[in-house]
Amino acid sequence: MPVPPDLEAELERESDDCSDDAPYVLRRELMTDGSLTKAALIKEGAAVAGFTKRRAEIVVDTVFGSIVETLRRGEKVELRGFGSFRLRRREPHRGRNPRTGDRVEVPSKHVAYFAPGRELKALINRDPTQPDLPPMSE
Distance CA 119, CA 124 (A): 9
**Is residue 92 in a domain?**
yes
Q: What is the largest CA-CA distance in the chain?
A: 60
Confidence of residue 6 (pLDDT cuts 50, 70, 90): low
In a domain, 10, yes or no: yes
- Quick one: 108 and 45 in the same domain? no
Q: Give the span between the Cα atoms of 120 and 81, in whole angstroms.
A: 6
pTM of the model: 0.67
In terms of residue numbers, what domain contains 80? 76-130
- State the sign of the Cα–Cα–Cα–Cα dihedral 133, 136, 26, 83: negative
CATH number of the CATH domain containing 101: 4.10.520.10
Give the residue from 31, 56, 74 where a domain finishes: 74
Q: How confident is the model at residue 127 (pLDDT cuts 50, 70, 90)?
A: confident
Q: How far, in Å, CA of 71 to CA of 112, rounded? A: 8
Are 94 and 43 part of one and the same domain?
no
User: pLDDT of 13-61, one tens digit each?
Assistant: 555 455 544 445 656 566 667 788 999 999 999 999 999 999 999 999 9
| Domain stop point among 39, 55, 74 | 74
**Exposure b/e, 9-31, CB count within 10 A at least 16 = b:** eebeeeeeeeeeeeeeeeeeeee
**What DSSP designation does 100 have?**
T
